[in-house]
Structure 1
């Protein structure tokens, strides 16, 4: 081949010298250019092995397309070849007939070379999904001639969008999405008259969207989502009459929707989710007759859902969640025959849920967090047949079979659960939690063969768990906690082989813990606490391989805890409240099992009715048995004496505690003035305000059912005063508080004077030499720890809630530090959430009650705060200051944002949260650390600076940490950006 090629060249060179230049170009330029281009690349998968420099032309090479008329390279398509290196233009500039250059989904690095745009015939250049960095060169677009489409999406580009972009008048498609571009959107971009598609999403662009967009008469799609654009939408956007796709979601846009948008009759996709739009949803929304997806969620829209929605005959997906909408469920939707999904969750809708909703043929119905009332009608009830009267194309049966997700949680529905749930045969997720539903769980739940999540928690359900639950074979999460369920846990549940979460806590379940649970090998989370379960724990449970949390506390279980598996590391709090359980975890040894004493009657006759029968020739054996019996009786007597002694001691302790509780019930006080006698029998009660009667709640001090939790300083109980006011009472651990009464009262009164909206109020105290109590306001919605790590996956804290908790906690600590009080024990279990979602920090200043403020004594008291404690606790030469609270706050911030615990114990590793986030920041992927359960529903412009602030607070050097007052100011700047914020961005 090479010899023939040389002969051919020899003949041409001598017979037609004038053709030398053009022939040499035809035979060599493209081959030479591509070989030079290849020389700079790494090709680990050998995708370019077909590129042979000895070939006459490259038209048969992989990734190459040629124009058949001249055999010149017209397209270079190397998508997904796993190539790396830099894109050098030196070789590519030889491809003078190249029309399309596509190098997507590789590992190219370096900067974009502006010379690439100088190729005369180049129309499409796609460098997306690589690792290109630097800015987009301004001269790139000054050289373009016939360029129609350019994509630099999903790289690491930074800087501003070059103004020269507007000079490339031939452009029809521009995609710079998923980079780190910043600055304003250049107004000249609206001069690109031929532009059909513009995608600048997922960047850091800010400022207002400039006016003049109406000049883009050919624009079909515009995507600016996930930036920092602010201000109003351009009033002239309605001039883009051909627009079909609009996505401005996850920005900071505000105001109302411009009236010109009603002209967008071709628009099929409109997404304005996650902005600051306000006012009523305009009635002209019904003019968007082509719209298929309409998402106005997470804004500030108010008023009722407009009736004009009935005109949206093409609508398939509708989301108005997380606004302030009110009024009844809109009847107008009955005309939207194409509708597949509605999401009205977290609004203020009222009234009943019409039965015809289930006849619409919807796949998803999300109505959680509203104020809907009444009963949930059975799918086949008469009122639900209204759908068929409207001439829908689906029968009722088919309509019910379409439903896949139904979420009615957090409303005020009452009555029974619909008895024929099985009609929803395709249902995958059913959530009716946090309502007032009663009655029994219908057996038809077993007909839900596809359901993976079943959440009926926090209702008033009674009766037993139906055995048919085992027929729901796809079930992964079963949540029935906080009801009134009775009976046994059905053994048929073992058929749900995919089950990962089983939550049955706070019911009235009885009977044994079924050994069949050991067959559920995918189980990760189990909570059976606060029931009436009895018997011993099946040893097979220790073989469950994936258990993360197993809570059986406050039941009536007995016997020895199984050995091995997760039982070797189970938390004591997970098995607490079972007095008859024994083992090292509960710090209670298991007594050896003794044979039952044999008691024989030596005077027995041969009467068959007697308890024993002996003939004269068995006299010798009778004597032997009597000796054995005496030995056994002696052992029994010893045991009996021990039992009596323990019982007497218990009665003495209970009597002493009861007298203390009675004293608490009978005593009273007002504003530090009441001081009854302080002997151990009566005690002293002081209330900082008012004079409540504790007699109605004193029993809680000895009632395990009223215990809210335990910490390093003691146990906390809930009780209710006679006037109906709930309070929380901390029963302090006596061994840690050996100060005199005078010192104790002086320190507690200082804490009692501290008042702040984000601090748990200390309302009083009780003192005897053997019993000290602190009386706090009751905060109803549990701890932050529970919301972050133990709450239902459907009811996770939103980013708005998390930011408010971070800011409120910061304000409370700043206030404490102004009062010269160090918290010492900040952690998520000490941050409580009230019924309005505000944080209240508790357990502050309790270290003041220790006999001496020694860091090692203190460390032992707050050892549950592992991961929150500042490094200076380990160094005697470093002074303990407010900066240790700042460190704990920084860890708490990272915990709130990531949803991860400060220290995570893996199978063969320990992950420290601060180190993980700091490493992610150094690698430029800090945004990946945000809690995945938020599903990207968070503003990166807030989340990333907040995480950076958390890392600053966890500096190893105390002096490098900011004061809490400075932290509050920084957080307020992040929430309301100003020019002083750049260093955190």
Structure 2
């Protein structure tokens, strides 16, 4: 038998043996790699159910695409499958892979190295996940990569020094990358699209030798970073550029004229920078431009006439600059224009009729200029959705609207003008209107009942418009009304009972009118009501007790009316400031000096002379004749019995009090004796375990975490800082679990466990998104620990004053978020507890921040643990809060209340805006921040003290914030607003812009 035949027979025998014993087919590398990938992540929707290791190849699996000729995996598309977990290594075995897409999942952790081992990978999309850390160092080594999208993750650190030269699309937006753009980007000569928006990138990009040399670029988006420098010329080289977005950076200088030589530009956004000068004349050649935004810069000069030659424009935003002169009549050439904003400039003259020839116009904003004349009637013939002509000098009456605008108009703001005449009843036909503001005009009109026909109306603002007459009950026929402001008019008559039909109302302001009659009880039906202002009217009677059921109330003012009687017992009424209730006939409150008057029938007074045993001593009664007073010389039997009973009760109370004091002293002595005996008998043994109390059933802490006692916990702890009440430590209670532990200074702290437990449990009930809640406490006579969550992102003080170069400085939106959140947390402490919880020690080191700069107040209410808040304790406890302490805390003759926190919050606001400490010591003098800001405000230079670290800021928000800080730090406590009012003021300062009001 030949050798070949022997080999064939042997092979046949092996095949039959393998078939008989059913040996498993070995896994190939691609199946193994994908099975490892599947086992390492969570697949809640079973999207990868078809991936089984029994298959010879993965080509039949869902979301997997193979090459028909080689059966090798070339595409893996796992978008929007709800996958979570960390990305494992092993995908580098898919050596034929061309495209990998994992976007819109919940994957997290770092991206593993090894992607450079995929020589044919053209496209990598990891966008919209939670990946973090720095980019793998081998990404620049991927030889064939053309498309890279890592947008909207949590990547941080600097960008790689280079990118693959084959790259066409680079998308890195929505991360936390920092540092400059790599200069080697100019070597990516095939780059078509770059988007690094909304990061922390900085520096001055090398436009002349960088981007401008990439002549194939079509999209450049560097918005929302911290880039600075001058926009140099050279853009004319970008002949293919279609979209340029450099907004929300710190560029300065003039707008490059070379932009006008990019013939294919369709969108240019240079807003929110510091650009100056005028619009370059070369822009007239951008006939393909669809959108132009240069808002929030320092551009000046007149709006050029050639703007009308940009006939393709659909969006034009020149707002918040310094443009002067009249509106050009050439605007009529913009037939496709749908959005026009010229607000907050220095424009004058009349609104030309040519604007109404922009027949597709849907949003028009001209607020904050010096425009005069009447409103063109033709404007109300367009299909406008939003119209804002506020804060000008417009006169005349409101034009009648066409059928077109009645169907489309959603937002109308004509406030702060000189418009006269009546509110036309035809406005009821504007059935899509959600926002109406006609305040600060001279309408001299009655409120038409037809306003109740606005079925979608959410905001109605008619303040200070010289309105008169009664408030129609039909006003609340629309159940959608959320804000009703009618204050500052001449309205008369009663508040209609139908006001209770406005079920969505959260702000009701009727102050400064001539309203009469009682406060209607139907207001108690407004369960969403947060702000109620009725001051300076002629309202009479008692406040209905039903108003005490309004649990959402944050601010109430009923001052300067003719109200009497008791305040409602619930909600915010028992904690109202004197300024909110003063000036009435007789409100029953300890805060007002007027006599309390009850609006109830007087009790019947009997003449004691009518009874044989009615003689009394020093008892004044009224006789039968008018003005007759009779004085008697003996006490009645009933009077003697009443006095005797009162004496017995007083003596009983005194005896019981003395017995309690004596018993407590005996218990204290017994406790000390037992502790002394225990300490002497167990000195060589391990210390005893104290009392561990955990608050709440959903608490992440467990008693087992402290089974070894506080001493072992503190041995592993690291000190974070020292406060006025104790030292704060970071303590580990389990693997990767940490808590913050405050070891209280036991001197002057409540010595009895029951009292300590009662007060700390009250603090433990404080739950609010802007409070750092207490998780529990640990107590022994020698040691008291308060336990809360550990805040890994540090305090506001660290971010403001100790940050260095570790993290970027706080921006204005972040600072405002801190101020508003802190105010809401303090308002909760003041309004949700009786008596209110007072912090006493508001300062940046007690404001902790999370990763999104949301504030959480710590150390609140610890003064409750002091048995007596006297001068000695104040001087020793609060000396570390220099500059934040209200002046009344040092004067025991004044009533210490929530206004102490308002003072500290005011200092905090000034510190947030200026970046300066409340007290700074120089070589020759001491600078008090409050005094410095007040002087600059009087001189008109207050914006000079704004912290330059935060970059660009809106003056219309920063200036009111500084003024609010000065009001909160008034030396007279009653002149400070309540924290509920502060929250309201802050929300008004940060009023939503029109395009964010779609939710109304």
Give the shorter-chain TM-score range: 0.5 to 0.7
Q: 1:966 to 1:554 in 2, by over 3 A?
A: closer
Tell me what 1:953 maps to: 917
Residues 651-681 of structure 1, C-alpha deviation per residue, up to 9 Å, x if partnerless? xxxxxxxxxxxxxxxxxxxxxxxxxxxxxxx
Q: Given the alignment of the two structures, is residue 563 of structure 1 paired with residue 569 of structure 2, yes or no? A: yes
Q: Give, in angstroms, the shift of residue 953 of structure 1.
A: 1.0
Contact 1:44 1:82 in 2 (8 A): no
SS at match of 1:919: strand
Q: Given the alignment of the two structures, is residue 513 of structure 1 paired with residue 519 of structure 2, yes or no? A: yes
Tell me what 2:168 maps to: 148
SS at match of 1:482: coil
Instruction: Work out the CA distance in 2 between the residues paired with 1:115 and 1:68.
Output: 30
Which of residues 387, 403, 408 is equivalent to 2:414?
Answer: 408
Q: 1:30 to 1:183 in 2, by over 3 A?
A: farther
Q: Given the alignment of the two structures, is residue 338 of structure 1 paired with residue 360 of structure 2, yes or no? A: yes
Instruction: Work out the CA distance in 1 between the residues paired with 2:386 and 2:176.
Output: 37
Q: Give, in angstroms, the shift of residue 581 of structure 1.
A: 2.1
Q: Given the alignment of the two structures, is residue 534 of structure 1 paired with residue 532 of structure 2, yes or no? A: no
Tell me what 1:284 maps to: 306
Tell me what 1:294 maps to: 316
Tell me what 1:82 maps to: 106
Q: Given the alignment of the two structures, is residue 125 of structure 1 paired with residue 53 of structure 2, yes or no? A: no
Return the TM-score normalized by structure 1: 0.60
SS at match of 1:433: coil
Q: Give, in angstroms, the shift of residue 227 of structure 1.
A: 0.5
Q: 1:956 to 1:262 in 2, by over 3 A?
A: closer
SS at match of 2:491: coil
Which of residues 124, 127, 130 is equivalent to 1:101?
Answer: 124
Which of residues 227, 238, 244 is equivalent to 1:205?
Answer: 227
SS at match of 1:334: helix
SS at match of 1:150: strand
Contact 2:416 2:441 in 1 (8 A): yes
Contact 1:40 1:85 in 2 (8 A): no
SS at match of 1:285: helix
Residues 320-357 of structure 1, C-alpha deviation per residue, up to 9 Å, x if partnerless? 00100000012111211100010000000011112222
Q: Given the alignment of the two structures, is residue 905 of structure 1 paired with residue 834 of structure 2, yes or no? A: no
Which of residues 190, 198, 201 is equivalent to 1:170?
Answer: 190
Residues 787-839 of structure 1, C-alpha deviation per residue, up to 9 Å, x if partnerless? xxxxxxxxxxxxxxxxxxxxxxxxxxxxxxxxxxxxxxxxxxxxxxxxxxxxx
SS at match of 2:177: strand
Instruction: Work out the CA distance in 2 between the residues paired with 1:162 and 1:915.
Output: 37
SS at match of 1:375: coil
Contact 1:47 1:81 in 2 (8 A): no
Q: Give, in angstroms, the shift of residue 244 of structure 1.
A: 1.1
Instruction: Work out the CA distance in 2 between the residues paired with 1:278 and 1:488.
Output: 52
Q: Given the alignment of the two structures, is residue 522 of structure 1 paired with residue 528 of structure 2, yes or no? A: yes
Residues 208-259 of structure 1, C-alpha deviation per residue, up to 9 Å, x if partnerless? 1222112222211111110001111111101221111111110111111111
SS at match of 2:469: coil
Q: 1:191 to 1:503 in 2, by over 3 A?
A: same
Contact 1:415 1:436 in 2 (8 A): yes
Tell me what 1:72 maps to: 73
Instruction: Work out the CA distance in 2 between the residues paired with 1:916 and 1:538.
Output: 43
SS at match of 2:395: strand
Instruction: Work out the CA distance in 2 between the residues paired with 1:207 and 1:245.
Output: 22
Which of residues 320, 336, 353 is equivalent to 1:314?
Answer: 336
SS at match of 1:430: strand
Residues 869-914 of structure 1, C-alpha deviation per residue, up to 9 Å, x if partnerless? xxxxxxxxxxxxxxxxx99xx9x99789945776722147878874
Tell me what 2:853 maps to: 925
Q: 1:202 to 1:175 in 2, by over 3 A?
A: same
Instruction: Work out the CA distance in 1 between the residues paired with 2:116 and 2:517.
Output: 81
Tell me what 1:272 maps to: 294
Contact 1:33 1:94 in 2 (8 A): no
SS at match of 2:495: coil
Which of residues 252, 260, 272 is equivalent to 1:238?
Answer: 260
Instruction: Work out the CA distance in 2 between the residues paired with 1:485 and 1:292.
Output: 44
Instruction: Work out the CA distance in 2 between the residues paired with 1:122 and 1:81.
Output: 22
Instruction: Work out the CA distance in 1 between the residues paired with 2:563 and 2:373.
Output: 45
Instruction: Work out the CA distance in 1 between the residues paired with 2:628 and 2:570.
Output: 32
Instruction: Work out the CA distance in 2 between the residues paired with 1:375 and 1:63.
Output: 64
Q: Give, in angstroms, the shift of residue 586 of structure 1.
A: 3.6
Tell me what 1:190 maps to: 212
Q: Given the alignment of the two structures, is residue 161 of structure 1 paired with residue 181 of structure 2, yes or no? A: yes
Q: Give, in angstroms, the shift of residue 184 of structure 1.
A: 1.1
Q: Give, in angstroms, the shift of residue 498 of structure 1.
A: 0.2
Contact 1:895 1:901 in 2 (8 A): no
Q: 1:485 to 1:961 in 2, by over 3 A?
A: same
Deviates more, 1:905-914 or 1:522-531: 905-914
Q: Given the alignment of the two structures, is residue 595 of structure 1 paired with residue 617 of structure 2, yes or no? A: no
Q: 1:148 to 1:458 in 2, by over 3 A?
A: same
Alignment coverage as a number of residue pairs:
657
Q: Give, in angstroms, the shift of residue 450 of structure 1.
A: 1.0
Contact 2:821 2:854 in 1 (8 A): no
Instruction: Work out the CA distance in 2 between the residues paired with 1:43 and 1:910.
Output: 48
Contact 2:848 2:855 in 1 (8 A): no
Which of residues 543, 560, 579 is equivalent to 1:554?
Answer: 560
SS at match of 2:848: helix
Q: Give, in angstroms, the shift of residue 972 of structure 1.
A: 3.7
Tell me what 2:392 maps to: 370
Instruction: Work out the CA distance in 2 between the residues paired with 1:548 and 1:978.
Output: 31
Q: Give, in angstroms, the shift of residue 99 of structure 1.
A: 2.7
SS at match of 2:121: coil
Q: Given the alignment of the two structures, is residue 475 of structure 1 paired with residue 481 of structure 2, yes or no? A: yes
Which of residues 382, 401, 417 is equivalent to 1:360?
Answer: 382
Q: 1:182 to 1:332 in 2, by over 3 A?
A: same
Q: 1:336 to 1:250 in 2, by over 3 A?
A: same
Instruction: Work out the CA distance in 1 between the residues paired with 2:151 and 2:415.
Output: 42
Instruction: Work out the CA distance in 2 between the residues paired with 1:637 and 1:499.
Output: 54
Contact 2:380 2:400 in 1 (8 A): no
Q: Given the alignment of the two structures, is residue 500 of structure 1 paired with residue 506 of structure 2, yes or no? A: yes
SS at match of 1:164: helix
Contact 2:320 2:345 in 1 (8 A): yes
Instruction: Work out the CA distance in 1 between the residues paired with 2:452 and 2:615.
Output: 56
Tell me what 1:818 maps to: none
Tell me what 1:179 maps to: 199
Residues 590-632 of structure 1, C-alpha deviation per residue, up to 9 Å, x if partnerless? 67964335799xxxxxxxxxxxxxxxxxxxxxx979999999x
1:793-804 to 2 correspondence within 5 Å? none
Instruction: Work out the CA distance in 2 between the residues paired with 1:135 and 1:449.
Output: 53
Contact 2:338 2:361 in 1 (8 A): yes
Q: Give, in angstroms, the shift of residue 75 of structure 1.
A: 2.5
Q: Give, in angstroms, the shift of residue 520 of structure 1.
A: 0.9
Q: Given the alignment of the two structures, is residue 247 of structure 1 paired with residue 175 of structure 2, yes or no? A: no
Instruction: Work out the CA distance in 1 between the residues paired with 2:838 and 2:55.
Output: 57
Contact 1:359 1:400 in 2 (8 A): no
Q: Give, in angstroms, the shift of residue 567 of structure 1.
A: 1.8
1:839-918 to 2 correspondence within 5 Å? 898=819, 904-906=826-828, 907=832, 914-915=843-844
Contact 1:65 1:75 in 2 (8 A): no
SS at match of 2:524: helix
SS at match of 1:361: coil
Q: Given the alignment of the two structures, is residue 420 of structure 1 paired with residue 443 of structure 2, yes or no? A: no
1:407-486 to 2 correspondence within 5 Å? 407-486=413-492
Residues 560-597 of structure 1, C-alpha deviation per residue, up to 9 Å, x if partnerless? 22222222222222111112222445465567964335
Contact 1:136 1:161 in 2 (8 A): yes
Q: Give, in angstroms, the shift of residue 204 of structure 1.
A: 0.2
Instruction: Work out the CA distance in 1 between the residues paired with 2:629 and 2:562.
Output: 20
Tell me what 2:345 maps to: 323
SS at match of 2:572: helix
Contact 2:398 2:421 in 1 (8 A): yes
Residues 430-478 of structure 1, C-alpha deviation per residue, up to 9 Å, x if partnerless? 1011112202111221111111000110121111111210213211000
